[in-house]
Structure 1
Amino acid sequence: LAEDLCDVWPWMALFDDETPMTDLIHFQQTIFVQDRSILENQIPGLLPLDPGMEIPTRADLTSVAYRRWLKRHGYTYGAQLVAQ
């Protein structure tokens, strides 16, 4: 949308057929609100693609895969596309 504005599509893998869907959605929204606060206050504002800039954990596997995809497609720092 813009360098400082994005559209977010959260997802959640479910292996729970006992908890009511409204409870699962509420849980997901709670986590998303916590993440939103962190992301809105993140410094640097752009997503670093250099693996040396952060120390990922196993919980970051999706983020690591996304950053690798961005690098393969010519992005250098989150939203900056390399001129080709």
Structure 2
Amino acid sequence: METFDVIVTARSNTELAPAQFDQQVAMLKQVLAWNGTTWGMRLSGSHTEHVGTVLTHLFEVARLYGPAITAQLVPAAQVDGTAVPG
């Protein structure tokens, strides 16, 4: 079975009222890490249930607060086994 990773990033919706912005951040913080400019995480495709849970959570955050969410597949040939734990 070929493996893959998924790189997930999010950009906060900065046009929210302060209370909503804080709620958005609290939800993003549950599944992503902040690097100073963006939220992000590299997920191992060998843990498909976890990938599904994270993506479902992020789509709910996007539905509620409107941050920009992106998910990029890293092909098996480029996976180096150093997925960020989630």
Please confirm whether the aligned pair reaches a TM-score higher than 0.5, indicating the same fold: no
Tell me which interval the TM-score lies in, with the shorter structure as reference length.
0.3 to 0.5
Higher relative contact order (CA 8 A, sep 6+): 2
Q: Which has the larger radius of gyration?
A: 1
Q: What TM-score, normalized by structure 1, do the two folds share?
A: 0.34
Which structure's residues are more often helix, by fraction?
Answer: 1
